């Protein structure tokens, strides 16, 4: 699975990327919403792990734009301090899962399993298919 990790905390993103790579996934790490969108427009990703709280373009704005340019891209939202309303909002935007930070790596691996279930229910299109 090709997974993009978007988090403005480099240490958090690298630990997650290393863990996912050990499970056989290909990862791309970016540290801003704008960079994530630029890469999504030009690349084929199966899933996006997206932090909500980032300077500049926050994760909610990124997710709204992702829904416009790649509506079927599976998104897992990562948040350190989301309210119940924010969690409900990202799920309405189509988040497959929401993970609260800090969280054990096992929670991320469980999210990957849910992504596989999501992918089995609905094929993920490649750029140009949408």
pTM to 2 decimal places:
0.78
97 part of a folded domain: yes
Digit-coded pLDDT (tens) for 29-73: 999 999 999 999 988 899 999 998 888 888 889 999 998 999 888
Which domain range does residue 110 map to?
A: 2-121
User: Is residue 130 assigned to a domain?
Assistant: no
Q: What is the C-alpha to C-alpha distance for residues 122 and 21, in angstroms, rounded to an integer?
A: 24
| Model confidence band, residue 107 (pLDDT cutoffs 50, 70, 90) | low
* CB contact set of 119 (below 8 Å; sequence gap of 6+): 46, 74
Can you give the CATH number for the domain in which 113 is found? 3.40.50.2300
For the chain, the domain total comes to: 1
Residue 45: inside a domain: yes
Assigned token pair, 16: 């997650």
* Of the listed ranges 20-24, 34-38, 126-130, the one predicted with least confidence: 126-130
Tokens of 71: 């509506």
- Determine, yes or no, domain membership for 127: no
Cα distances from 75 to residues 64, 65, in angstroms, run 11, 12
């Amino acid at each position: 699975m090709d997974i993009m990790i978007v988090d403005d905390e480099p240490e958090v993103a690298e630990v997650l990327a290393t863990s996912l790579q050990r499970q056989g996934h290909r990862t791309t790490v970016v540290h801003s919403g704008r960079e994530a969108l630029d890469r999504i427009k030009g690349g084929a990703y199966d899933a996006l792990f997206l932090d909500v709280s980032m300077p500049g373009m926050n994760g909610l704005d990124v997710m709204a734009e992702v829904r416009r340019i790649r509506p079927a891209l599976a998104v897992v939202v990562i948040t350190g301090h989301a309210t119940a309303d924010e969690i409900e909002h990202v799920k309405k935007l189509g988040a497959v899962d929401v993970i609260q930070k800090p969280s054990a790596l096992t929670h991320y691996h469980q999210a990957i399993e849910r992504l596989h279930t999501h992918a089995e229910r609905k094929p993920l299109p490649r750029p140009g298919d949408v």
